[in-house]
Structure 1
Amino acid sequence: MTSVITARAPTRVDLAGGTLDLPPLHLFHPGAVTVNVALDLPASCKVKTRADAAVVLESRDIGRREVYPSRAELRFDTPLQLLARLVAFFAPSGGVEVVTDCAAPHGSGLGGSSALVVALAGALNQLTNAGHAPERLLALSPDIETQAIRVPAGVQDYYPALYGGVNAIHLGVGGAFREALAADWLPTLDAHTVVCHTGQAHFSGANNWEIFKRHIDGDAATQAAMARIRDLARAMYEAVRGRDVAAVADCLREEWRHRRQLAEGVSTPTIERLMAAAREAGALAGKACGAGGGGCVVFIVAEGRRAEVCAALAANGGEVLDARLTAQGLTLEEAAD
């Protein structure tokens, strides 16, 4: 009998404190925290056992399929190496077929690859009866993604993918721990949130790696900017706990002001054009998602101005995503085929 596991994990919008989640940067900024929220543009996968030893990997969102005669012949230098590395780690006893997809645009800055890692790790964990606890999945996921992207991966993206909701990821000596925030306030925050795709893909590792290197090399301006971002992330944490839309917008605006100074490619003319159009239409604040350089921009909009902001963004070349903030984290369904 063939076993089929279907998994879905949400992507995320990062509100404040990104880049601090790249180990060991948080150790230089005591009290570091990253605040993010799950978004219902999920990464999904279907994993099915096979009667033979073959491993079939398929990514529908990038339109690629790879077939290997056995797990021993998997390659880790192809566009599907992330899938291959996860199959190799969980080492199913027989052949498997893996089909993945992601509702978020490619290179969106919404943590789609990390959500995919969580979804596939969860599916393979169940398929193989490996028995890894959620904390173990949170530990192995950035390690595997780092192997694939060849630069350090931050840890923040895996928490909303696994748990959903609004998250504060506290970073300090001994690692990270998650605090769930303001679950009852999620619908209100959602009503004030607009996510817009710029039409430009980004690669988060590039900007983050440049910032990381300059920080480690002792660049005073980078270190000072990251210290201010730490302070603003603490303020964002308090704003969300206080369920204060205006304070969230203030923190988002200031976070972006400091973040765009971290590297030349963080902002782009397209991002700046969309920011200006949104402000004129009633957005209180905005920032690029993830490491910037393209991808998506998140806006906090004034009461009753959502439609105007969305229209202004569309008129200026942006694609407003049909997405909502969500309390739902990783889901797994098992069936016999």
Structure 2
Amino acid sequence: MQHELVREAMRKTGMKKGVEITTLADIPAKGTGLGSSSSVTVGLLNVFYLYQTGPQTIERLAKEACQIEIDILKKPMGKQDQYAAAFANLNIIRFNPDETVTLEPLLIEDRVKDALETNLMLIYTGVTRESSDILSQQKDNIRHRLSILDEMKAMVDEGKNHLLRGRLDEFGKLLHRGWELKRKLAEKVTNPQIEKMYQIALEAGALGGKICGAGGGGFLLLYCPFFRQDKVRDALGSPRELPWHIERQGTKVIFNVRR
């Protein structure tokens, strides 16, 4: 079987035959930085288990998706995409030295969550890329970038406090500081096209942002107060923009009929 995610999900769940698999997505299948491969893997595990033996825990789905992508397929990636795809809402995800993962739900007020959704824009750069080269370079650079990584880690609690207190503009500015650090992790994280788009957005009214995923292309996430967003769109030449919202339920089977 050529589709490696489908193949390994079938092996993991013991699915051998008797199924036809179709995948549909609103974004390109690769190179967007939005964790699409992990979303597919988690979804496949979910539906295969339900079809054969019944629903499994969300923790198991996330853990086994990590095993497939990282341990079996040797992707140079972390575990954040799989856990983000499996679980709902906003969470602080902690990756522990013993390889366990813990999640802390971020319980912000609904009005703050709604405003955050409104103020974040997801803009397609027009470039897809293979993340493996960028991630491999980042991995090789870790020992030389520890101070940068420590600074990025410290931003988690700062961002959490901004969201809990409804200081969304400060959260947007924190995204900018985080992007300035992220671009130093590897030379391919950014490129002249991304830099130009980001600078134009800032000059038009965005307060901060970052390239999603490993970098090098895919989607640019911008924090921009709603009343300035049309100006940003005009400045960027009406780019392709992806409507989005915070997922409230996580991975789920939306249709299941037994004959």
| Structure 2 length-normalised TM | 0.90
Offset at residue 306 of structure 1 (A)? 1.8
Change (3 A) 1:313 1:257: same
Match of 1:290, SS state, is coil
Show CA shifts across 1:96-122 (max 9, x none).
111112212331101111111111111
Residue in structure 1 matched with residue 211 of structure 2 by the alignment: 288
Change (3 A) 1:183 1:110: farther
Residue in structure 1 matched with residue 23 of structure 2 by the alignment: 100
Match of 1:270 among 193, 198, 219: 193
Distance in 2, Cα, partners of 1:93 & 1:205 = 30
> Does structure 1 residue 327 correspond to structure 2 residue 252?
no
Offset at residue 124 of structure 1 (A)? 0.6
Residue in structure 2 matched with residue 226 of structure 1 by the alignment: 149
Distance in 2, Cα, partners of 1:81 & 1:97 = 15
Structure 2 regions of 5+ residues with no counterpart?
none
Residue in structure 2 matched with residue 120 of structure 1 by the alignment: 44
Offset at residue 148 of structure 1 (A)? 6.3
Q: How does 1:46-195 map to 2 (within 5 A)?
A: 75=1, 78=2, 80-92=3-15, 94-106=17-29, 107-129=31-53, 131-147=55-71, 149-174=73-98, 175-181=100-106, 182=108, 184=110, 185-195=112-122
Change (3 A) 1:211 1:196: same
Match of 1:255 among 178, 190, 195: 178
Q: Percent identity?
A: 26
Residue in structure 2 matched with residue 197 of structure 1 by the alignment: 124
Distance in 2, Cα, partners of 1:235 & 1:206 = 30
Show CA shifts across 1:190-213 (max 9, x none).
110000010111223322221112
Distance in 1, Cα, partners of 2:71 & 2:219 = 25
**More helix per residue:** 2
Q: Bigger shift: 274-283 or 306-315? A: 306-315
**Backbone CA RMSD of aligned residues:** 1.9
Distance in 1, Cα, partners of 2:16 & 2:208 = 51
Match of 1:298, SS state, is strand
Query: Any conservation in 2 of the 1:183–1:327 contact (CA below 8 Å)?
Result: no
Structure 1 regions of 5+ residues with no counterpart?
1-74
Match of 1:168, SS state, is strand
Distance in 1, Cα, partners of 2:221 & 2:10 = 34
Offset at residue 320 of structure 1 (A)? 1.5
Q: Bigger shift: 166-175 or 285-294? A: 166-175
Offset at residue 303 of structure 1 (A)? 4.3
Query: Any conservation in 2 of the 1:252–1:285 contact (CA below 8 Å)?
Result: yes
Match of 1:299, SS state, is strand
Query: Any conservation in 2 of the 1:193–1:298 contact (CA below 8 Å)?
Result: yes
Query: Any conservation in 1 of the 2:141–2:185 contact (CA below 8 Å)?
Result: no
Show CA shifts across 1:67-105 (max 9, x none).
xxxxxxxx4xx3x11111101111136421111122123
Distance in 2, Cα, partners of 1:183 & 1:83 = 38
Q: Bigger shift: 251-260 or 195-204? A: 195-204
Match of 1:96, SS state, is coil
Show CA shifts across 1:2-59 (max 9, x none).
xxxxxxxxxxxxxxxxxxxxxxxxxxxxxxxxxxxxxxxxxxxxxxxxxxxxxxxxxx
Query: Any conservation in 1 of the 2:10–2:16 contact (CA below 8 Å)?
Result: no
Distance in 1, Cα, partners of 2:149 & 2:203 = 29
Match of 1:196, SS state, is strand
| Structure 1 length-normalised TM | 0.70
Residue in structure 2 matched with residue 35 of structure 1 by the alignment: none
Query: Any conservation in 1 of the 2:141–2:186 contact (CA below 8 Å)?
Result: no
Query: Any conservation in 1 of the 2:173–2:208 contact (CA below 8 Å)?
Result: yes
Distance in 1, Cα, partners of 2:141 & 2:249 = 37
Residue in structure 2 matched with residue 237 of structure 1 by the alignment: 160
Query: Any conservation in 2 of the 1:314–1:320 contact (CA below 8 Å)?
Result: no
Match of 2:23, SS state, is strand
Match of 2:217, SS state, is coil
Match of 1:299 among 198, 218, 222: 222
Distance in 1, Cα, partners of 2:160 & 2:48 = 34
